[in-house]
């Protein structure tokens, strides 16, 4: 009987520890902007080619950030279309927020200098509601650098 109780407690504790670790791993970061920015700063990015690109849209308000999937066109290394945000059904709609007047030209569109894509990222741009938006061209991220292979102990290579 003692053996059965011990086994039951062992299985229960293993189950609790396994459950605790998996739920912790699934928790998303509370600052998705910082996560994307850090990744791009560490690894860098390839130049963004002309065409339509999937992007990560980061929207910051103080220390809080939200990230969304989006799509935008690039021509000659510059943003060249309106930003589209992806909806949960997979469709895309025009992003509804506008750029602050300080970042607009006479035609009411984003000023030319802020359209450039550098290191796989757009400039940080303030919106009319005070939030700050930045785009990350995640498919242009540079490959993770390869680690150096460690040498084995001498006895693994020298047989005599």
- Structural domain contains residue 156: no
Considering the domain boundaries, does residue 4 fall inside one?
Answer: no
User: Is residue 83 assigned to a domain?
Assistant: yes
pTM recorded for the entire structure:
0.74
Q: What is the mean pLDDT of residues 147-153?
A: 91
Q: What is the domain range of residue 60?
A: 32-140
Number of C-alpha atoms within 13 angstroms, CB side, residue 129?
9
- Whether residue 112 lies inside any domain: the answer is yes
Given this model, what pLDDT does residue 132 score?
Answer: 97
Q: What is the pLDDT of residues 3-35, one digit of tens each?
A: 333 333 333 333 333 444 333 444 455 789 999
Confirm whether 117 is domain-assigned.
yes
Q: Which long-range contacts (CB under 8 A, 24 or more apart) does 68-76 make?
A: 70/95, 70/135, 72/135, 74/48, 74/49, 74/50, 74/117, 74/137, 75/50, 76/50
Query: Which pLDDT value is given to residue 33?
Result: 96
| Residue 116 lies inside a defined structural domain of this protein | yes
Q: Could you report the per-residue pLDDT of 77-136, keeping only the tens digit for each? A: 999 999 999 999 999 999 999 999 999 999 988 999 999 999 999 999 999 999 999 999
Q: Domain count of the chain?
A: 1
Over 60: is that where the pLDDT of 41 sits?
yes
Asked if residue 99 lies in contact with residue 79, where contact means CB atoms within 8 angstroms, the answer is: no
Question: 3-state secondary structure string, 88-155?
Answer: CCCCEEECCCCECHHHECCCCCECHHHHECECCECCCEEECCCCEEEEECHHHECCCCCCCCCCCCHH
| Residue 160 falls inside a structural domain | no
In a domain, 146, yes or no: no
In this structure, what token pair is assigned to residue 122?
Answer: 């757009």
């Amino acid at each position: 009987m003692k053996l059965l109780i011990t086994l039951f407690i062992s299985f229960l504790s293993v189950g609790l520890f396994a459950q605790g670790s998996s739920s912790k791993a699934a928790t998303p970061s509370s600052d998705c902007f910082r996560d994307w920015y850090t990744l791009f700063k560490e690894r860098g990015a390839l130049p963004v080619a002309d065409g339509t690109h999937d992007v990560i849209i980061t929207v910051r308000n103080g220390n809080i950030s939200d990230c969304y999937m989006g799509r935008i066109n690039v021509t000659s290394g510059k943003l060249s279309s309106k930003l589209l945000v992806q909806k949960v059904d997979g469709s895309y709609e025009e992003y509804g927020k506008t750029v602050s007047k300080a970042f607009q030209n006479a035609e009411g569109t984003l000023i030319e200098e802020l359209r450039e894509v550098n290191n796989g990222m757009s400039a940080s741009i303030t919106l009319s509601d005070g939030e700050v938006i930045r785009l990350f061209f995640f498919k242009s991220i540079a490959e993770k650098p390869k680690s150096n292979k460690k040498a084995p102990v001498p006895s693994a290579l020298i047989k005599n």
